[in-house]
């Protein structure tokens, strides 16, 4: 848990321009909360007024927001009830800032409707909001597909659509956004294969968990420069490709819970030297723990639980200096080397249940263990089949269950990249997901 928030500290230093843009954001927000007495000072300090006259860009935004309001069918928290009239900068959830191109021109630079419980869809006219840097729509009931006009949002930096009801194939339109850095699509109903191009984008964080994506982790996985990859609860299949090592210079969190992974863990996982979180639980991984994992000196959370791994739990892993939580339950490990037998003494939270550890309680039956031992796995001989390409059709995903983010992803809740921006927003609701 400590994990998610700290990894983002590095992301906060984004390009200088953007920083400027966003810090103005904050100023503007503060302005909103000051009373009129200060307005003179404010004018002096910032070169825009609280309710700027409608410039052409704000007028476009006005048209876009009105079209959007028109296709909102339910808004129980009244987020959009004050979306009336041309003062778009006064609308709930809408944030204005000086334009990057021309600081004298105020534009709509951010929209945060997180936790709105709003039902509706994104109209074509969303393309009129062409100055948006942030679009946060988490925890609503937006449905349908993403309009192609999103491609007009050439400054969009963060797109959070998590916990909505978006459907259709992977929304290729997001790959056309040149500035996009943070993409969060989790807890929707996107389906089908992931486009290989996704892995050529310089995104910093990609959250795709709990959709209906099928097919493999593409063999070109390595080309991205992400710090966080969360792909849990999809039906990828196949093994973890060795070229995961290509992402070693950036990757801090790799979460592949319940993604139908099979095969052995490649030695290359141990070369991801910045990893703080490695979670491959609830898969069908076989073979032993690569000894290379002993090199992950930043690793804090290691979860190998609910797989079919066997062999020994190597001492080098238990001695990792930052390891705080090591779960390897529900496998077939038969020996804990050295200090691994006494993780309590290292104050490491652990779970070793349901293995074949002779001296430990709550293990599998002798029969179960013997059956498994009769068929040892030799990882050096096992070919890595990248992607089993689970076909759709007869193997179609079961009907979607509306799963609250809190239940499945609390731990991976979106850390706020710019906590200050929305800190004072009217609703008081920001990125926290549980
Ligand atoms: C939203 O507005 C309606 C009508 O004005 C009101 O009845 C309702 O209580 C409001 N809901 C909230 C959550 O403020
Ligand atoms: C915008 O909001 C401010 C207070 O937050 C208010 O004084 C002002 O009248 C509003 N402007 C319009 C046009 O509604
Ligand atoms: C894209 O944005 C420009 C302004 O930057 C606007 O003129 C145009 O209509 C927008 N296109 C769409 C499809 O919304
Ligand atoms: C694994 O993911 C599938 C969807 O791909 C979901 O239906 C299932 O409940 C998940 N299992 C666990 C243990 O989370
Ligand atoms: C340790 O990790 C497991 C698996 O990820 C998790 O369920 C458990 O809550 C964690 N325990 C602590 C104390 O962080
Ligand atoms: C584990 O280590 C602690 C302190 O280091 C010691 O008191 C305890 O007896 C050890 N337990 C076992 C089972 O070796
Ligand atoms: C999966 O297999 C089907 C049929 O064999 C093929 O048409 C499809 O392109 C494959 N998908 C991927 C992502 O490889």
Q: Tell me if residue 425 falls in helix, strand or coil.
A: coil
pLDDT at position 17: 33
pLDDT digit string, tens, across residues 407-434: 223 323 333 322 222 333 333 333 333 2
Residue nearest to atom 12 of ligand 4 (CA): 258
What is the structure's pLDDT at 215? 66
For ligand 4, atom 4, the nearest C-alpha belongs to: 233
Confidence band of 174 (pLDDT split at 50, 70, 90): very high
Ligand nearest to the CA of 347: 6
Give the pLDDT score at 41.
35
Residue 420 CA to ligand 3 center (angstroms) comes to 29
Confidence tier at 383 by pLDDT (50, 70, 90): low
Residue 239 in domain: no
- What CATH number does the domain containing 140 carry? 3.80.10.10
In 225-363, where do the E strands start and end?
228-230, 253-255, 262-264, 277-279, 284-287, 301-303, 308-313, 325-327, 332-336, 349-351
128 lines ligand 3 (CB under 6 A): yes
| 78 falls within a domain | yes
387's tokens = 């992607």
Q: What is the pLDDT of residues 207-248, one digit of tens each?
A: 888 888 886 666 666 566 778 888 888 777 788 888 788 888
Query: Can you tell me which residue has the tokens 């993403």?
Result: 146
103 is a domain residue: yes
Confidence of residue 376 (pLDDT cuts 50, 70, 90): confident
- The structural domain count of the chain equals 1
For tokens 């193997």, what's the residue? 395
Q: What is the C-alpha separation between 432 and 105, in angstroms, rounded? A: 31
Cα distance between residue 177 and residue 156, in whole Å? 7
Hunting for tokens 């013997």 — which residue is that?
370
Q: Find the 429 Cα to ligand 1 centroid distance in Å.
A: 17
Residue 3 has pLDDT above 60, yes or no: no
Q: What tokens appear for 24 in the block?
A: 């103005």
Cα-to-centroid distance, 301 and ligand 5 (Å): 8
Cβ of 169 closer than 6 Å to ligand 7, yes or no, is no
Could you tell me what percent of the chain has a pLDDT over 90? Answer: 47
- The rounded mean pLDDT for the chain is 76
Domain that holds residue 146: 53-192
pLDDT class for 71, splitting at 50, 70, 90? Answer: very high
| Residue predicted with more confidence, 316 or 13 | 316
Higher pLDDT, 365 or 422: 365
Residue with the larger pLDDT of the pair 375 and 254: 254
Question: Can you give the pLDDT at residue 303?
Answer: 97
Q: Relative to the CA of 128, which ligand 3 atom is closest? A: 14
Q: Is residue 212 part of a domain?
A: no
What is the number of H-type helices and E-type strands within the chain?
7, 22
pLDDT of residue 222: 56
Task: Look at residue 313 and tell me whether its pLDDT is greater than 60.
Answer: yes
Residue 273 has pLDDT above 80, yes or no: yes
Smallest CA separation from ligand 4 atom 11, residue:
258
- To the question of pTM greater than 0.85 for the whole model, the response is no
pLDDT at 193: 83
What pLDDT is attached to residue 81? 95
Higher pLDDT, 369 or 139: 139
Identify the residues whose C-beta falls under 6 Å from ligand 4: 233-235, 258, 282, 398
- The two three-digit tokens of residue 246, written as one number: 């290509």
Which range is least confidently modeled, 113-122, 260-269, 364-373, 379-388? 379-388
Q: How far is the CA of 49 from the centre of ligand 2 (A)?
A: 11
User: Does 353 sit in the ligand 5 pocket, CB within 6 Å?
Assistant: no
Question: Among 123-127, 275-279, 428-432, whose mean pLDDT is lowest?
Answer: 428-432
In a domain, 359, yes or no: no
Residue-wise DSSP of 325-393: EEE--SSEEEEE-GGGGGGGGGT-EEE--SS--TTSSSPPPHHHHHHHHTS---TTTS---------SG
Asked which of 168-172, 208-212, 255-259, 405-409 is least confident by mean pLDDT, the reply is 405-409
- pLDDT of residue 177 exceeding 90: yes
Answer yes or no: is 273 within a domain. no
**H, E, C per residue of 70-132:** HCEEECCCCCCCCCCCCCHHHCCCEEEEECCCCCCCEEEEEEECCCCCCEEECCHHHHHCCCC
d(CA 254, ligand 7 centre) in Å: 25
Would 100 be classed as within a structural domain? yes
Residue 292 lies in a domain: no
For the ranges 30-34, 83-87, 242-246, 378-382, the lowest mean pLDDT is seen at 30-34
In this prediction, residue 43 carries a pLDDT of 36
Q: Is the pLDDT of residue 134 over 90?
A: yes
Ligand 1 atom nearest residue 78's Cα: 1
């Amino acid at each position: 848990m400590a994990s998610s928030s700290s990894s983002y500290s590095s992301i906060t230093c984004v390009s200088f321009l953007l920083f400027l843009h966003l810090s103005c954001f904050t100023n503007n927000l503060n302005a909103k909360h000051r009373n009129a007495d200060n307005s003179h000072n404010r004018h002096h300090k910032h070169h825009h007024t609280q309710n700027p006259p409608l410039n052409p860009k704000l007028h476009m935004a006005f048209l876009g927001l009105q079209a959007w309001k028109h296709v909102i069918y339910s808004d129980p928290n009244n987020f959009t009830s004050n979306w009336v009239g041309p003062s778009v900068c006064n609308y709930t959830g809408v944030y204005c800032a000086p334009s990057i191109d021309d600081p004298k021109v105020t534009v709509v630079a951010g929209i945060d409707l997180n936790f709105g419980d709003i039902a509706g869809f994104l109209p074509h006219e969303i393309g009129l909001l062409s100055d948006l840097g942030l679009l946060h729509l988490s925890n609503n009931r937006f449905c349908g597909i993403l309009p192609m006009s999103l491609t007009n949002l050439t400054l969009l930096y963060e797109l959070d659509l998590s916990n909505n009801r978006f459907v259709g194939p992977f929304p290729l339109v997001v790959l056309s956004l040149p500035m996009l850095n943070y993409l969060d699509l989790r807890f929707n109903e996107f389906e089908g294969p992931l486009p290989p191009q996704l892995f050529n984008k310089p995104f910093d964080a990609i959250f795709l968990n709990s959709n209906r994506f099928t097919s493999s982790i593409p063999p070109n996985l390595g080309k991205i420069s992400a710090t966080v990859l969360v792909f849990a609860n999809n039906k990828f299949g196949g093994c973890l490709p060795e070229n995961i090592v290509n992402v070693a210079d950036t990757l801090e969190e790799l979460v592949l819970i319940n993604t139908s992974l099979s095969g052995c863990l490649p030695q290359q996982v141990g070369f991801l030297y910045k990893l703080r979180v490695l979670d491959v639980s609830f898969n069908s991984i076989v073979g032993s723990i690569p000894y290379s994992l002993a090199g992950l000196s930043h690793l804090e959370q290691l979860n190998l639980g609910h797989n079919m791994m066997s062999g020994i739990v190597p001492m080098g892993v238990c001695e990792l200096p930052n390891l705080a939580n090591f779960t390897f339950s529900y496998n077939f490990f038969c020996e804990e080397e050295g200090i691994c037998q006494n993780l309590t003494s290292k104050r490491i939270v652990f779970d070793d249940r349901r293995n074949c550890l002779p001296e430990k309680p709550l293990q599998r039956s002798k029969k179960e263990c013997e059956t498994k031992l009769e068929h040892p796995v030799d990882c050096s001989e096992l070919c890595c089949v990248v992607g089993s390409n689970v076909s759709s059709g007869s193997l179609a995903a079961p009907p979607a269950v509306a799963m609250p983010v809190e239940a499945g992803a609390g731990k991976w809740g979106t850390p706020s990249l710019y906590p200050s921006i929305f800190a004072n927003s009217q609703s008081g609701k920001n990125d926290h997901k549980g």
